[in-house]
Structure 1
Amino acid sequence: MLLIIYHVSLMYNSRAFLLKAPDRSGIFDLIHLWTHPWRMSLLFLISGVVTGILLTRQPPGALRRIRTRQLVTPFLFGVLFLIPPQMYVWLNGALGVHISLFDVFWHYVTLTPVRLPDGEQALLLGVQHLWYLAYLWFYTVILTFAVSAWPQFLPSLGRRLGTWLAGKRILVVPAVLFVLMKLLLRPNFPPTLDILNDWYSHAVYLTSFLLGVVMATRDEYWDALVATRKPALILALTCATGLSLLFLILPADEPEKWRTLFGRVLGGTFQWSAVVAVLGYAKICWTSENAIIAYLNRAVLTYYVIHQTVMLLIAYGLHQAGLLSVSSFIPISVATLAVCALSYELKRRLEMFWRIRNSALAV
């Protein structure tokens, strides 16, 4: 849900995006500052937890095959059918290129550049929001091969981290690590979302993923998260406030190097403290099976794969009608969520139909 809100907000904040509304607001920059530092780290950590649990139930090779089917199939589907409509919106809505959706598909599939109004040419390549699926598959492959080659890899890693993550250290040590990565790696290896050349992102997300894998079956880590949830929440809110003051309220002529330095320290601290707060409070709030969460767990991949394309097509329709403005933020978010929900229900019913049909044929 937060990802949909975040991506819709990109059309209204000061950051570059595929389609921008004619009017902007600093409120949408707050959405970026308050969610972006920790949201993907949390997602990779949760993915690591799931992977760690699955490794206790099946051998690494079997898990690798299952995850390949679960992740690569929707990734390829999205790259082939969901990215071209986003390129269509970008070319027509942001760059002023008058090109049909069919022609965008043709240029995309044949790797033929599109001529822009300024005379430059653009090659339609990219995976947009689907990069997460590729990264998660890549990390899963690395982990499963490591566990196959060294069966004691995870128990050994868990024992080594036990001292570093015991008690309140589970809040402090990873936060320091994320701050150091922002200070030392990010300036030299800025995020690119190119899986072969994205060293800072790999350092952050692979660390989050491995933390989740190690934490998956060790109760002492979860007890430590619960015990530190309150200071983590206070620290996260303090960092969020500091980031807001630093980038949205202070005058623009403040020394840029100091603003960047403090921003990275606050961002790295916020990145982990928010994760600890979310997990700590979730651990005590949801202690039994929840039907809504169980349903959304099954639906989340569908929502993830299609939401950005749906969002951009809805926004582009409003843009063409002259209705894309700050007031359309909530309608676009709600409509995107509704289309995702309907798409999942259609997918679920089609799968049920094919299972019943195959069972009938087998009989």
Structure 2
Amino acid sequence: MYAEGVPFSAFGMATSIWTRHHILSLADFTPLEYDTVLQTASSFREVLSRRTKKVPTLQGQVVANLFFESSTRTRSSFELAAKRLSADTLNFTPGTSSLSKGETILDTAKTYLAMGTDMMVIRHREAGVPQAIANEMDRLGVRVGVLNAGDGQHEHPSQALLDLFTICTLLDPAYPRLDLLKDKKIAIVGDILHSRVARSNIWSLTASGAEVHLAGPPTLLPQLFANFVKEKKDKGFKIKNKSDESDSAFILSPLSFQRKLFLHWSLAPALKDADFVMTLRLQKERMTSHLLPSLREYHQQFGITRDRLKLCKPEVKVLHPGPVNRGVEISSDLMDDPQFSLISQQVTSGVAVRMALLYLMGSGKN
């Protein structure tokens, strides 16, 4: 069952400590779970570097990719990850499905369940759909794992995990782990308000002990965005104001570790001495009103360029979840510069990380 050349501990130990049946959010992920994903993904990265890139770990299982919203990178990455694990795949296309005839989303999910699906990867433009499907699977008493591949303005767990993996493997290729980011400064710049990627990255990056600085126009990073982090207050989080040069700052302290999140309405304080900069795509398809004067003005105020990176540490690296609006969120020349850009590494990391997630969710069935 185990891939040649991959240590048993990379798989056997991972499955023995992994108890999460669904992956819907990173808000309650523990440091041990993050490290399990990182180290399992590292083992699969080695598999992907070999001539034979396929392993039989999920042979006989069925992974259904139910993408109710358009996607290129995420869907292709999950499909390739499932095939590399020798799973069978079913791909859902809403335009040619029975949804157009009045079938509900839950009925669609149950149809795929009846086909023998073991795991469902769900993407939807409305927040909460993966959770609703997971609840239905649990209600039916079936052991079908549900993985959130992006839901509305809620979360995108696998994207944040591949971002985390990309950064940690840069810092230590042999042993990527969460504590490598302790006390690092990471700036997330752009359309924070509409970004599910930003929300998942807030949970994963602050869990490492890093300082996360959010920067964007007031219309895309309103003061009320702090309410997002207050949602977990009843599970041990405490929030208090802290005055400094930032526009706003919040310290999040769960019972086991401290999270640090800072909000800025200007770019310079977020970039100052940053180790990593993550710029986000403007979510034009999710904007319900005119929140920006123009894309040109946005780039002038918040676009990431070589000159602006001079505020950061000399070895700073830039990430972007894609797809990229060249010349808007990031200058085109910077995006293609391997000295600074980790964008291509993010795409490569995506397959290994999604292999790890499918493996961990599906390992109990083999």
TM-score, with structure 2 as normaliser: 0.27
Higher helix share: 1
TM-score, with structure 1 as normaliser: 0.27
Higher Rg: 1
Higher strand share: 2
RCO (CA 8 Å, sep 6+): is it higher in 1 or 2? 1
